[in-house]
Structure 1
Amino acid sequence: MKSIKILAIAALCTLTFSCKKEEKTLDHIPGVDSAQASTVVEALSQDSANPDDAALVKEAQSKPLTTIAFSETDHSFGDIKKGEKVEHIYEVTNTGTNPLIISNVKPGCGCTVPDFTKEPILPGKKGKITLHFDSTNFDGAVSKAADVFVNVEKAPVRLTFTANITQ
């Protein structure tokens, strides 16, 4: 029963806090003592590899490998108003000899939604990865990332962006 309670708390924390800038605690949840809350928060905040990510990497690398070039891997939106929805297109070029396949784009939280070229990108051709960001739940400086699972040697490739959310 205790492990079910901790798993439920972990799921709740992931959904509730993954898109919040401020540091949160679980002290306000009935039946959760501070030691349990601390353990869950610490486990969620560690940058551990997700088993689903390993499967995505394996899938991407099961295709013939190629090489990739990005127009940029980091973007700054600068100052944007709270609640504003913005997007940025990252251009990708297949610089290898095999088709480039974007298997998945996995953002760090639900405030970022990806869109990407689904069909194989032939050698020398270009594709796009668009990251849509909703600033509703943020104040001040934010930094977000999305992992791109592609058939290249060092996958996933991380795309990042920053913004300063103003009132």
Structure 2
Amino acid sequence: MKKLILGLSAICLIAFTSCKENAAKKIEASNLAEAAERDANASKFPVIEFDKTEHDFGEIEAKKSVSTIFKYKNTGDAPLVITEIKSSCGCTVPQDWSREPLAPGASGEFSVKFNGSGTNKVSKTITVTANTEKGKETVKISAFVKPDPNAKKPAVKS
């Protein structure tokens, strides 16, 4: 048993000491420059800046479709990529945004249609998923939906 332990110890000692190379000799200057540039770019994010973050349609008729446009600009240091725009419900439909990267300083827009469902004060949130530092940005729409005059009124029991 002693010979076995002594033999394994000798093999381990040879394995650990024979693999000793100076790691500093393996570093190349070109790799250092690339790594420094990559690290500097990793801290740069696009920044999405909206011309407005809320839009109020005011008073609208029930079931009347209305729309607005949200304009935005990339004020960051990296290309902006919007991967998804979705609303808090199916009655609000965001559409017409570019899925191509938006260069720093460039502008874009998307439209939002609201179908006029609901009653009284209605507020909806639109979430923009992008490669910004936060990852998600929000804008809001609101409207006061007047009651539908053609809607059937519940019968009053006397």
Identity of aligned residues (%): 35
In structure 1, what is the Cα distance between the partners aligned to 2:52 and 2:110? 11
Letter in 2 for 1:83: K
| Structure 1 equivalent of residue 121 of structure 2 | 141
Q: Residue type matched to 1:120 in 2?
A: P
1:94 pairs with one of 61, 74, 91: 74
1:117 is aligned to 2:87: no
**Residues in 1 aligned to 2:98 and 2:140: alpha-carbon distance in whole angstroms:** 18
2:65 pairs with 1:85: yes
Match of 1:160 among 136, 140, 148: 140
CA shift for structure 1 position 145: 0.5
CA shift at 1:114, angstroms?
0.9
The one-character-per-residue Cα deviations of 1:46-83 (angstroms, maximum 9, x if unpaired) are xxxxxxxxxxxxxxxx9x72112110111101011111
What do the CA deviations read for 1:85-113 (whole angstroms, capped 9, x no partner)? 11111101010121111100011110011
The one-letter amino acid paired with 1:78 is G
Match of 2:112 in 1: 131
Secondary structure of 1:118's partner? coil
* 1:131-152 deviations in Å (ceiling 9; x for gaps): 11111x3111100001100111
Moved over 3 A (4+): none
> Does structure 1 residue 72 correspond to structure 2 residue 52?
yes
Q: How many residues align?
A: 104
Q: Find the aligned partners of 1:133 and 1:155 in 2 and give their Cα distance.
A: 25
Which is higher, the Rg of structure 1 or of structure 2?
Answer: 2
TM-score normalised per structure 2: 0.62
Matched to 1:153, the amino acid is E
Counterpart of 1:103 in structure 2 is 83
| Cα drift, residue 129 of structure 1 | 2.0
5+ long unaligned stretches in structure 1: 1-61
